[in-house]
């Protein structure tokens, strides 16, 4: 491997790290601003960007094959299914006005 | 990669080094998807109870030390950087750089666990451990216990993963010192790296959900 490619990789790592630290600072700052119901979506949005940066660069998803991408995506899909089905039950309880609902 | 250079590292049931590497990588990702679901159960519990008792979660979150949480986030992100640099060092066969970065990663992991231990001790003294001695003067103290149960379960499971990661890193340091990794074979470094970054990912979500909730 050439020295140029080598230096570039370290540079990429440092760049991603700088972005992650900046996003952490932004998410802490944003937490102190009252955005009513938007605070949690904003915090989770920033966390998701950080997660994607870590996965894409540090976990080498950019050099991984499609099967790995599908697997990684499936974890998100199954997590969403678990949370959405559970919440659809939790939130709709009491909608029907008889005991045992 | 020439055949002579990689052959000593390829197990007999693989065609070549690339196939062996892809199999390891895919297996590790399957394990990580399983880990996502493992933590996912706790995240689901968090969503359910936070929706049911928002005030209790709001007040409970105020008891957590945001400065220590922020510090630990930076420590963990830095450890991910040194882990990524370790993998890079292995890829270019730089043994000293590999060992130094692995030890740095271990050190940062230990700092994280130390801060976590300090936070837990503080919660113990403040009577914030759910149970008969739980004392909480905010609104809805009964359900604030749910917040603290989830706080200890989620950060505890995360800390357990960190301890496993520290053991993995320790093994990697020893094997690196023996010169077992070079640009032709560094799969264990890469796979432990995937695990370490995953543990970092979990914390990236735990930090805003536990520490930053209801600061405004």
Least confident of A61-65, B103-107, B142-146: A61-65
Contact (Cβ atoms closer than 8 angstroms) between residue B111 and residue B92: no
The answer to whether the CB atoms of A17 and B25 lie below 8 A apart is no
Q: Is B61 on the interface with A (CB under 8 A)?
A: no
- Which residues in B lie closer than 8 A to residue A20 (C-beta atoms)? 77, 80
- Please state, as a whole number, how many other Cβ atoms lie within 10 Å of the Cβ of residue A6: 15
> What percent of chain B has a predicted confidence (pLDDT) above 90?
83
Closest Cα in chain A, distance from residue B133 (Å): 30
CB contacts under 8 A, B 135-194 vs A, are: 183, 190, 193-194
Single out the residue of A57, A47, A67, A52 nearest to residue B30, CA to CA: A67
Q: Residue A1: its pLDDT value, please?
A: 39
Per-residue pLDDT reduced to its tens digit, B4-50: 566 678 888 898 888 899 999 999 999 999 999 999 999 999 999 99
Mean pLDDT, to the nearest integer, of B71-97? 95
The answer to whether the CB atoms of A79 and B37 lie below 8 A apart is yes
Which residues of chain A carry a pLDDT beneath 70? 1-8, 99-101
Distance between CA A33 and CA A56 in Å, rounded? 30
Q: Is B43 on the interface with A (CB under 8 A)?
A: yes
Q: Residue A93: its pLDDT value, please?
A: 82
Q: Is the pLDDT of residue B215 over 60?
A: yes
Instruction: Please give the model's pTM, rounded to 2 decimal places.
Output: 0.92
Q: Residue A3: its pLDDT value, please?
A: 46
The answer to whether the CB atoms of A13 and B205 lie below 8 A apart is no
Domain edges within chain A: 1-63, 65-101
Q: Residue B23: its pLDDT value, please?
A: 92
Distance between CA A83 and CA A79 in Å, rounded? 6
Work out the mean pLDDT of chain B and round it to a whole number. 93
- Which residues in A lie closer than 8 A to residue B73 (C-beta atoms)? 24
CATH number, domain B11-211, options 1.10.3720.10, 1.10.260.40, 1.20.120.80, 1.10.340.30:
1.20.120.80
Closest Cα in chain A, distance from residue B174 (Å): 23
CB contacts under 8 A, B 84-143 vs A, are: 84-85, 88, 91-92
- Which residues in A lie closer than 8 A to residue B48 (C-beta atoms)? 86-87, 90
Domain edges within chain B: 11-211
Task: Work out the pLDDT band at B216, boundaries 50, 70, 90.
Answer: confident
Q: Residue A96: its pLDDT value, please?
A: 80
Q: Is the pLDDT of residue B1 over 70?
A: no
Q: Residue A4: its pLDDT value, please?
A: 45
The answer to whether the CB atoms of B26 and A68 lie below 8 A apart is yes
Q: Residue A94: its pLDDT value, please?
A: 78
Distance between CA B7 and CA A55 in Å, rounded? 30
């Amino acid at each position: 491997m050439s020295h140029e490619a080598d230096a570039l990789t370290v540079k990429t790592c440092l760049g991603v790290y700088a972005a992650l630290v900046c996003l952490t600072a932004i998410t802490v700052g944003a937490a102190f601003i009252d955005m009513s119901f938007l605070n949690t979506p904003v915090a989770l949005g920033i966390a998701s960007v950080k997660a994607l940066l870590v996965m894409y660069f540090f976990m080498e998803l950019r050099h991984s094959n499609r099967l790995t991408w599908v697997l990684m995506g499936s974890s998100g899909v199954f997590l969403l299914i678990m949370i959405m089905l559970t919440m659809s039950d939790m939130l709709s309880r009491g909608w029907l006005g008889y005991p045992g609902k | 990669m020439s055949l002579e250079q990689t052959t000593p590292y390829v197990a007999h049931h693989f065609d070549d080094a690339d196939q062996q590497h892809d199999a390891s990588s895919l297996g590790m990702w399957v394990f990580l998807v399983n880990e996502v679901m493992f933590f996912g159960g706790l995240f689901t519990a968090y969503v359910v109870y936070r929706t049911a008792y928002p005030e209790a979660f709001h007040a409970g979150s105020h008891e957590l030390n945001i400065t220590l949480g922020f510090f630990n986030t930076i420590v963990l992100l830095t450890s991910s950087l040194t882990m990524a640099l370790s993998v890079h060092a292995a890829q270019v066969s730089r043994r000293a750089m590999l060992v130094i970065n692995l030890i740095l990663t271990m050190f940062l992991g230990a700092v994280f666990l130390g801060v976590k231990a300090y936070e837990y001790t503080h919660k113990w003294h403040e009577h914030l451990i759910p149970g008969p001695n739980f004392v909480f003067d905010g609104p809805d103290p009964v359900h604030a216990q749910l917040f603290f149960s989830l706080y200890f379960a989620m950060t505890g499971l995360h800390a357990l993963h960190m301890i496993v990661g520290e053991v993995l890193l320790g093994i990697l340091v020893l094997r690196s010192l023996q010169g077992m990794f070079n640009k032709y074979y560094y799969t264990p470094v890469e796979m432990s790296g995937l695990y370490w970054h995953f543990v970092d990912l979990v914390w990236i979500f735990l930090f805003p959900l536990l520490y930053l909730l209801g600061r405004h």
